[in-house]
Amino acid sequence: MQRYFLEIAYNGKNYHGWQRQENAASVQETIEKGLSRLLRNTEILYSAGRTDRGVHAESSFAHFDTDMVIPENFLYKINSMVPEDISIKNIYQPIDNDLHARFSAISRKYIYRCIRYKSPFHTQTHWMCRWQMDLEIMQQCCEIIKNQKDFGTFRKKYGNSKTDICLIKEAYWEDCGDFLYFHIRADRFLRGMVRMITGTIVEAGRGKFNLETFEKIVQSLDVNQASSAAPAHGLYLQEVEYPPNSLILLQDN
């Protein structure tokens, strides 16, 4: 049995998240159906991250195990079997067959995209934030986030994570004029965590509360203290990192 890794991009608008569900379309099930048709075998995908409904991915990874031979034109064929809002970018073979898409990942990076004006071309891909916001305060919020270890404040109330401990490796806002981007990288994220952090920092930037209050919210570990989550359609899983030289590229687009 050989393990293979897929690098995947998708627009999450038409899906109820990554994870397979009984009565709703998911990215996982859509790709699995294509794999099963192509390899004539039932293939189960294990993902690096289970994005929520409406969240996108520019580069995510998932692995599957199979005894079937991977055809030379695998990427062309699998992409013809999935909708246009999903792309299989690359296929890899791990050096170690025990490498796991989720548990072997070193870090994951998300980017949250905001736009400062009403645009018919970005309504499905950015959060429209036309308020005056203090970017310096928002950057200081990021420093507080980077020093925090327990993120109990920023998780969904009924999440099933065994621990709320996460190591934030980077967090900052990038001002690009009409666009504003929030970058955040960590070893792991709780369900809903990035959107709740984004929403709370934006509230601080709008002057809803000061930096001291933001720090108290973060340290409270009380999910009821966080602001509303930022909309799903502005969030992208941008990068998943694995140990160096652990994956061998078999085919690329």
3-state secondary structure of 87: strand
- Answer yes or no: 150 catalytic: no
Same fold, 2-104 and 109-237: yes
Distance CA 26, CA 23 (A): 9
Identify any residues that bridge with 57 across adjacent strands, giving them in sequence order. Answer: 10, 237
**Domain 109-237 -> CATH class:** alpha beta
* In the chain, domain spans: 2-104, 109-237
Amino acid letter, residue 183: H
Which fold does the domain 2-104 belong to in CATH? Alpha-Beta Plaits (3.30.70)
Radius of gyration of the chain (CA): 19
Paired residues of 93 in beta bridges: 248
**Which token pair is 99?**
């490498």
Overall average pLDDT of the 65-93 stretch: 94
Higher-confidence residue of 136 and 161: namely 136
pTM, two decimals, is 0.94
The string of pLDDT tens digits covering residues 16-68 is 999 988 888 999 999 999 999 999 888 899 999 889 999 999 999 999 999 98
Q: Are 136 and 172 in contact (CB under 8 A)?
A: no
pLDDT tens readout for residues 208-223? 999 999 999 999 999 9
41 touches 64 (CB < 8 A):
no
